[in-house]
A and B are shown apart, each in its own frame.
Chain A
């Protein structure tokens, strides 16, 4: 009889321990967050990957400079989650006499994807059929854009190719 009671108390303690082990309440740092859009600069004649001379990108609507994340030859552009569009200035020959600024608007839909209890959700984006509108007229150095991957759910490959 005593043995049974001892065993039962042991099981009680085990259950108590199990109730308090909550291992997935911490969002592990290896879990990827909301992805940025990766763009590739492509030469329109040859289709080759190439960085234009004196090239830089500035986000419109903020004073902050874009984070310099390195993804090989592609460039990471963060998209706004509160809007369905984000505007960037693409600058060619920055600082020199023949500086040329084109204003591009990226159109997309947002879709939130469940990760887990601790991490919450991740914002994914789906590029529209016409993902890029050039807002300024005349003397455009950007020739167009092609969708490489219309769903922005990770940062493993470029999503948009910008032709110049």
Chain B
């Protein structure tokens, strides 16, 4: 009698395990199927393109000449290593100062996709961070002197040669960018994207007897304020090849 109960007990335990195993097998099957689906969707892929806003601005305004290339590398389904490389030449009349800034910049960082796509879609709502650096020069074309009690000369007299005018070479700036944006796949492998950026200046070399009023890539630098803002409007192409 005692022996019988022991056998019943052992058998039921084993059957439980067997049943549980059966459950697990089914689950494994399910996940294997699912992950197979996913692995088809998460390739490492390279995407590159240009910033349309700078091209349009170059065409539309005579005082701006700029070009920016963008690229990102998808390493996880929702994680991208991203970079921008650009060149700008900007002439501005800013209140009492007329200057030209010319230089190149690069930005390197990552993007995180917050958007859950439906099957077959590949759109992104992105947040991202960039570390950015520029190497540029500032040329002071002309300026006016501030004279609170003008006596000899017209206070609006413009000084356009000698004195403090001239070029300040080999300047650098470093800053961080925080961005939000989105990318929409408009046709297979072609994306249209918009990003807004909040820039935080870390350091910059101050030009002699002048200031980095404009920094390529960073845009306008205001006095006593380490923050700037920018945006880009990109057209990118994903190389169909998967690594």
Cβ B125 vs Cβ A114 within 8 A? no
A25→B149 CA distance, assembly (Å): 21
Q: Can you report 10 residue pairs joining A to B where beta carbons are below 8 Å apart?
A: A18-B198, A18-B227, A18-B229, A27-B146, A117-B222, A120-B97, A121-B145, A121-B146, A121-B164, A123-B147
B138-181 residues with Cβ-Cβ distance < 8 A to A are 143-149, 151-153, 157, 159, 163-164, 180
B interface vs A, CB < 8 Å? 94-97, 114-116, 125, 127, 143-149, 151-153, 157, 159, 163-164, 180, 196-198, 209-211, 213, 220, 222-225, 227, 229
Residues of A within 8 A of B196 (CB): 11-12, 15-16
User: Which residues of A sit under 8 angstroms from B116, Cβ to Cβ?
Assistant: 1
Q: Mark A86-105, 1 if CB is under 8 A from B, else 0.
A: 10000000000000000000
Given contacts A8-B127, A19-B229, A121-B96, 17 further A-B contacts (CB under 8 A): A14-B198, A18-B227, A33-B145, A33-B147, A62-B151, A62-B152, A64-B151, A80-B153, A81-B145, A112-B143, A112-B163, A114-B210, A117-B94, A118-B95, A121-B97, A121-B143, A122-B145
CA distance A66 to B149 in the complex (A): 11
- Report the minimum CB–CB distance from B98 to chain A (whole Å): 10
Residue from A12, A32, A33, A115 within 8 A of B180 (CB atoms): A12
Residue A119 CB within 8 A of the other chain: yes
**Cα separation A130 to B224 with both chains bound (whole Å):** 40
Contact partners of A66 in chain B: CB under 8 A? 151
Q: Is there an interface contact between B180 and A11, defined as CB atoms closer than 8 Å?
A: yes
Q: How many angstroms between the C-alpha atoms of A53 and B148 in the bound complex? A: 30
Measured between alpha carbons, how far is A137 from B114 in the docked complex, in Å? Answer: 87
Whether B146 contacts A31 by the Cβ 8 Å rule is yes
Which residue of chain B has the shortest Cβ distance to A19 in the bound complex? B229
- Measured in the bound complex, the distance between the Cα atoms of B146 and A67 in whole Å is 17
**Bound CA span A32–B146, Å:** 8
Q: How far is the CA of A24 from the CA of B37 in the complex (A)?
A: 56
Instruction: Kindly provide the distance from the CB of B84 to the nearest chain A CB, expressed in whole angstroms.
Output: 17
A24 CB contact (under 8 Å) in B151, B157, B224, B229: B224
Check B125 against A15 for contact (C-beta < 8 Å).
no
In the assembled complex, the Cα of A1 lies from the Cα of B115 at a distance in Å of 8
Of B115, B180, B197, B198, chain A has the most CB atoms within 10 Å of the CB of B180
Most chain A beta-carbon contacts within 10 A, residue among B96, B152, B197, B222: B152
In the complex, what's the smallest C-beta–C-beta distance from A1 to chain B, in angstroms? 7
Flag if B227 contacts A117 (CB, 8 Å).
Answer: no
Chain B residues lying within 8 Å of A79, measured Cβ to Cβ, are 152
